[in-house]
Amino acid sequence: VIEQQLNGIDNLRYVSSESNSDGSMTITATFNQGTNPDTAQVQVQNKLNLATPLLPQEVQQQGIRVTKAVKNFLMVIGLVSEDGSMGKEDLANYIVSNMQDPISRTSGVGDFQVFGSQYAMRIWLDPAKLNNFQLTPVDVRDAITAQNVQVSSGQLGGLPSISGQQLNATIIGKTRLQTAEQFGNIFLKVNTDGSQVRLKDVATVGLGAENYSTDSQFDGKPASGLAI
């Protein structure tokens, strides 16, 4: 759908696409030499806006990113933990937290790529246990979405205030789940005997890498890298 919408853009030479096993997809639009990259990016974004309503809802929720960049890397930088005190996930987190934004804002930088994977809460479902409890992965996804939200808790002494009211305070509720134990306690269903089924009953929950499709090492030591 996106490739079809890109047809007709000024100075467009060709369009290529690449799909990855993790479900992501990269579409590259190549323009004639001398084309203004800012103008080309605006035209691509306008065409993408026309294609977005035709895409699956899951794709729209994940979001689509448009960047302008050359095909080759300008620079590749590697970070390594010499004493082994930091794992590759720690190094990737450091790059994203401390280096990505300043470098991305630098004039002339079109794209920033991290070689490595950040930490993420990993949930490995057990198909047999799901079947025993008559649950599906969609049920688990919906439960996580519903119970891992940031909810406004209101105010103390909010308007309309009573006579003599001197204090006004905002209540901040820590409703976002933080630990594997909290995720494991996500409620899924009630059995006919009244017992409760929670996420830890049908899955293994733990903190791990966001994905395991790549591995970064330098001289046998944990490493992570970035490309500009």
Q: What is the pLDDT of residues 116-144, one digit of tens each?
A: 778 889 999 999 999 999 999 999 999 99
Handedness of CA 149, 150, 155, 158 (dihedral sign): negative
Looking at per-residue pLDDT, the higher value among 116 and 103 belongs to: 103
Structure tokens at 92: 């990737």
Which residues lie below 8 Å from residue 67, measured CB to CB, with a gap of 6+?
A: 41, 110, 111
* For range 56-65, the mean pLDDT: 83
Architecture of domain 70-116+215-228: 2-Layer Sandwich (3.30)
Predicted pLDDT of residue 168: 79
Report the mean per-residue pLDDT for the chain: 86
70-116+215-228 has the same fold as 1-68: yes
Q: Which CATH class is domain 1-68?
A: alpha beta
Predicted pLDDT of residue 170: 79
Q: Could you tell me the residue ranges of all domains in the chain? A: 1-68, 70-116+215-228, 121-158+174-209
**Range 121-158+174-209 classified under CATH 3.40.1360.10:** no
Answer whether residue 199 shows pLDDT above 90: yes
Phi/psi-derived region of residue 66, left when phi > 0, alpha when psi is between -120 and 50, beta in every other case: beta
